[in-house]
A = this chain, B = another copy of it.
Amino acid sequence: NGDAQAGEQKAVMCVACHGANGKASVPVYPNLAGQNEKYLEHALQAYKKGERSGGQAEIMKAYISGLSDEDISNLAAYYSSMKP
């Protein structure tokens, strides 16, 4: 499992769209707060691997391209730890 505190450090690039509290600022973006950790990890990896297209997928891929597998696990732990 990831390290939520380390994830918080990496989440600075996520907050513009997904909110400081994990509630999306734009209705077409997903809330992340309280989402299942394993699903968040899967979804981030799917964007990174190019398994998602359309919508904001290219933007997500660009953001995630610089993240390690550990960073991704930590982000997943951080958002899943938030109150939905």
Contacts and interface: CB of A to CB of B under 8 A. Distances in A.
A43 B31 CA distance: 13
Contacts of A39: 24, 27-31
A73 to B, nearest CB: 13
Interface in A7-61: 24, 27-31, 34-39, 42-43, 46, 49, 51-55, 57
Number of identical monomers bound together in the oligomeric complex: 2
How many A residues touch the partner, as a band? Answer: 20 to 34
A27 B37 contact: yes
Contact of A29 (B29, B36, B53, B84): B36
Interface of A: 24, 27-31, 34-39, 42-43, 46, 49, 51-55, 57, 84
